[in-house]
Amino acid sequence: EAHQAPLRGCRIGEFMLRQVAEVGLVRFPDVPCVLLKVREDNLPGQSLYARLGFRRFAVVHEYYDDCDAWDMMLQLGPMLRRPLRADLVARLSGELGFTRAEAEVALRWTRNDFGGALALLTGAVPEFTRISLTYSAQKNIAGT
């Protein structure tokens, strides 16, 4: 397994993630992002994902039996083409002091939801539990 000590540093995980993104974009060109979960205590994994452009956006309590997880997202082409509201970009970057690039990313991720973008930028990320995620998934599958 790639996470075992003798294979660490060989960039196997990076290669695999790059392949997923490249092949995925060809097969599914309209997909706006790649989502993953990583253990809260897996700092090397979080570092790898951040290096490849993933950002943390929510914590999931009790996702693993012994640890919380971070939801991380990598924005892809379709998300980068989402229209932005100039007034919200100006408000976040001008009045509140975030960079224009940070404001644009947050607004794209939240589909121009000012409150959601501000929460992402300030680190006030949503918190979930594994139970609530399971319930939401079951509701979506059932179509209710």
Task: Assess whether pLDDT exceeds 90 at residue 10.
Answer: no
| pLDDT confidence of residue 135 | 43
C-beta separation of 78 from 24 below 8 A: no
Q: What is the pLDDT of residues 40-98, one digit of tens each?
A: 999 989 999 999 888 887 788 888 999 999 888 888 877 888 899 999 999 999 889 98
Distance of CA 26 to the CA centre of its chain: 20
**Measured at the alpha carbon of residue 108, what is the angle toward residues 44 and 97, in degrees to the nearest 5?**
80
> Per the confidence metrics, is the pTM higher than 0.95?
no
Helix/strand/coil (H, E, C) string of 58-75?
EEEEEEECCEEEEEEEEE
